[in-house]
Amino acid sequence: MTKRLAFSLTLWLAAYAGWAQEGYKTLPLNDLSSFKAQAGNWMIVGDVTMDRNLSIHHEAPPVETGKKKKKSKAAPEPEHPVKYTSGQGILLNFNDDQKKDNLVTNWTHGDIELELEVMIPKGSNSGIYLQGNYEVQLLDSWGVKNPGFGDIGGIYRNWENEPAKAYAGKAPRVNAAKAPGLWQTIKISFQAPRFNAAGEKVENARFVFVELNGVRIHDNLEVPRLTGGPINDNEVAEGPLMIQGDHGPVAFRNIRYRLLKPANVALSGINYEVFDGHFESEKDFKDLKPTSIGSTEQLTWEVAKKDNEFAVKYYGALEIPADDTYTFSANTGNAMKLVIDGQTISNYYERGGKPVKLTKGTHSAEITYFKYVSWASPNMGLWVESSNSYPQALHAFSSFPPASNVASPIIVETGNSPRLLRAFLDFKRDRSQRLTHTIAVGNPAGLNYIYDMKSGSVVCLWRGGFIDATPMWHDRGDGSFRPIGVVEYLTSKPTLVLPGQSSANLELNNIPDFRSSGYTLDGDGLPTFLYTYSGASVKDKSKLVEEGKVLQREISVENAPAGSQVRIAEGSQIRKLDNGAYAIDGFDYYIELKSAQEATIADKGATKELLVPATGSVVYQIVW
C-alpha cells in the first residue's frame, strides 16, 4: 500500500467538508433589525470579555466577626465577569430581573444549516431554539465528566409527565466544551418536521448533526416532540430562530445560515465497463478490453462482482434541475475520478477540488473507480449538493451503507495511570507538516498532550479520548497517530528562542544544535523531557491542575546564551486581559503566566509571539 493511499481512503471530490460555502447568509450584527422587539437585555457591542474565574452567581464575600464568618449584606458588589464596549459585530445578552426576554428572528425557517460562535461566562446558561421549538443547550459545562442533556450541546428535555407527551432529551456524545470566556464554535444541521396536505405530521424533526468545537456530538438524531420552553404550542413546518435570554449573559458572533431544500439531481442511463486486475492508476487499464459490460439503474461497485482487484468505468446522464453551484463528494475504499461534460472535477486521490457551476438540463458524467487494497472496504458512495440543499446520494444504498467504515478503528486509552505513546504526528492534520519524533502523553483525567522531541515544544493538547492508532497499526500502517477529542494545536516551533534566531529559517524536524536526551518519569508516571540546545540545558515538565482541567508547564533553563527567551504562545492575535491572562487567537485559548518573569508580545508579521526571558524556571498554564 502506498503512503499516499493511506492518507486518501476518504476521497473528497470537491470542496466539501460537510459544509458547502455557497448559499450561506450572514446575519448582520450592526443592529437588532433582524430580530423582534425585546425588553432591552439584548444589544449589539463591539467587544466583550468574560473573566473565566468570576461566576455570574457571585455571592457577597464573607467578613470576620471574631467567632465565625458570615455573609454581609453591606459588602460591596463583586466585579461582574462580563465587560463590553460599544461598537458592532457581537450580539450580547446582558439580562437582569426586569429585562430577560428571549430573542426571536423576524424570519422563519424549515430545514436549515446554522453556524455561529458563542461565548459563555462561568455559571451561565442559554439555548438556541430551532423553529423556536427544539433547544440546543448552551451552558458553561467546562470540565464536566459525564455530560447530560442539560450541558452544552445537549438537546433539552421537556417538562411533560405523560409518557405520550414527554421527551427525555439527549446528552451530547462527549463534552467538547471550552473554558468560560472563550469563543466556541457550534454547527447545526436541522431538518424540520414534515406534514401532509391535511396538516398531519408524517415525519419528526431531526438534527442531521450538531458539532461543537469541531467534534460531532449528535448525528441523525430524531426529536419526536417539542423540547422545554418552546415558542409554539405545537410543531410547525416553519418557525423563527430563538435564543434564550432569561438565564444569564451570553455573546454571539459570526452567525451564518442557509435555508435548505432537496437537491433533486438524478444520475440515470448508467452504462459500465469492468476491468479485472491490480490497477493503481487509469493508465494501467486504459488499453485493456473490459471483462464485462452492462447497464445499471444506480451507481454501485457491486457490478464488479468481486471486492478487490478491479476497476469500473461508468457513463451516465446527470440531470440538473436548476442553474446553481453544485458540490460533489465521495467516500471510497480506494480512488475515484469524476468528469462532467469533459471537465475533471477531481482526479483520484486529490483532496479539495472545487465546486462546479452547472446549468439546468442534462450533462454527461463519467466516473472511474478502482480498488486494489485488500483490507479496505469496496464501498463506494457519491453525493451532490447545491448551494441550498442537503447532500443527496447518487449511489445505491448497498454501495455505501450508512456507518460503513474502511477499517475498524484501533483506539488506545490511558486506563488508570498516565500512558505514553510514540509515533508521527501530522501537525494540524497536514501531511506536509509531519513531525517525526512526537510522543503522546495521556492522563486518566482526559486532558492529553503531544510533545515534539525534535523541537522541545508541546504541539497540541486535547480533552477526550487518547489516541486513534489506526493509521499506525492497521495493515502495514504509516507510523502516524491522531488525537481523539477537542484538539488545540499550538506551535511546532522550538520553545527555547535563541538571540537573533529567525524561526522562519528552521527546518521541520531539523533544528541545528538541538539534542534530545529523552525523558525521566516521576512517581506518578509523568515525563520530564530533557534536551540541550546551543549549550543550554532544558528540563520541561507538564502536569494537570485545577482538577485536571488545565495543563501547567514548567520549563527550567540553565546556561542559556544571553538574551534567550521562552516562547509560550504563538498566534495571529495575542491580547493581555485585565486579569493578567493572555487570550490567544481571538479567545481561542488562554495563557496564564505563573512565574515571576515579565512577558512581552512580539510582532512577527502575520503572527504574534508571547515571550518571557529564559531565566530560571518559567511556569505557565494553558487553559481552553
Which phi and psi (to 5°) does residue 489 adopt?
-85, 135
The domain at 411-623 falls in which architecture?
Answer: Distorted Sandwich (2.70)
Question: Taking the CA atoms of the chain, what radius of gyration do you get in angstroms?
Answer: 28
Q: 132 Cβ partners below 8 Å, 6+ apart?
A: 104, 230, 231, 232, 239, 240, 241, 242
CB atoms under 10 Å from CB of 411, counted, come to 12
Profile the chain (624 residues) by mean pLDDT over runs of 10 residues: 36 39 84 96 97 82 48 63 96 94 97 97 97 97 94 94 89 95 97 95 95 94 94 93 95 96 94 95 91 97 94 97 92 87 81 79 96 84 89 92 69 94 95 95 95 97 93 86 93 93 77 94 96 96 95 97 96 95 96 97 93 96 96
Q: Grid coordinates representing 431?
A: 501531511
Fold of 3-16+263-399: Toxin - Anthrax Protective Antigen; domain 1 (3.90.182)
From the list 367, 292, 293, 298, the residue with the least C-alpha distance to 335 is 367
CATH 2.70.98 range(s) for the chain read 411-623
**What are the CA-CA distances from residue 208 to residues 16, 18, 24, 222, 255 (Å)?**
16, 11, 18, 8, 19
First CA to last CA across the chain, in angstroms?
39
Q: What is the pLDDT of residue 488?
A: 95
The H or E element spanning position 183 is strand 183-191
Give the integer Cα–Cα distance in Å for 79 and 182. Answer: 19
Q: Count CA atoms closer than 13 A to 384's CA, side-chain side.
A: 23
CB atoms under 10 Å from CB of 606, counted, come to 6
CATH 3.90.182.10 range(s) for the chain read 3-16+263-399
Q: What is the pLDDT of residue 407?
A: 63
Fold of 31-56+79-259: Jelly Rolls (2.60.120)
**What are the CA-CA distances from residue 417 to residues 526, 544, 577 (Å)?**
9, 13, 36
CB 186 within 8 A of CB 211: yes
**What are the CA-CA distances from residue 344 to residues 15, 276, 337, 365 (Å)?**
14, 24, 8, 10
Q: Grid coordinates representing 424?
A: 508521527
**What are the CA-CA distances from residue 231 to residues 101, 240, 244, 246, 421 (Å)?**
12, 9, 11, 14, 51
Give the integer Cα–Cα distance in Å for 345 and 339. Answer: 6
User: What letters, b where the CB count within 10 A reaches 16 and e where it falls short, cover 171-192?
Assistant: bbebbbbbbbbbbbbbbbbbbb
Q: What is the pLDDT of residue 74?
A: 53
CB 338 within 8 A of CB 332: no
Give the integer Cα–Cα distance in Å for 370 and 407. Answer: 18
163 CB-contact burial (10 Å; exposed 0-12 / middle 13-18 / buried 19+):
exposed
Q: What are 69-76's contacts with CB under 8 Å, separation 24+?
A: none
Q: 76 Cβ partners below 8 Å, 6+ apart?
A: none
CB 194 within 8 A of CB 185: no
Give the integer Cα–Cα distance in Å for 492 and 456. Answer: 9
**What are the CA-CA distances from residue 427 to residues 431, 493, 504, 616 (Å)?**
7, 11, 17, 30
Handedness of CA 603, 604, 607, 608 (dihedral sign): negative
Q: Grid coordinates representing 137?
A: 443547550
Tell me how many helices (H) and strands (E) the chain has: 2, 46
CB 256 within 8 A of CB 114: yes
The DSSP symbol for 305 reads S
What are the beta bridge partners of residue 363? 318
User: What letters, b where the CB count within 10 A reaches 16 and e where it falls short, cover 269-303?
Assistant: ebebbbbbeebeeeeebeeeeeeeeeebebbbbeb
Counting every residue, how long is the chain?
624
Q: Grid coordinates representing 47?
A: 467587544
CATH 2.60.120.560 range(s) for the chain read 31-56+79-259
Q: What is the pLDDT of residue 16?
A: 38
From the list 479, 437, 444, 480, the residue with the least C-alpha distance to 463 is 444
pTM score: 0.84
Q: Grid coordinates representing 516?
A: 534530545
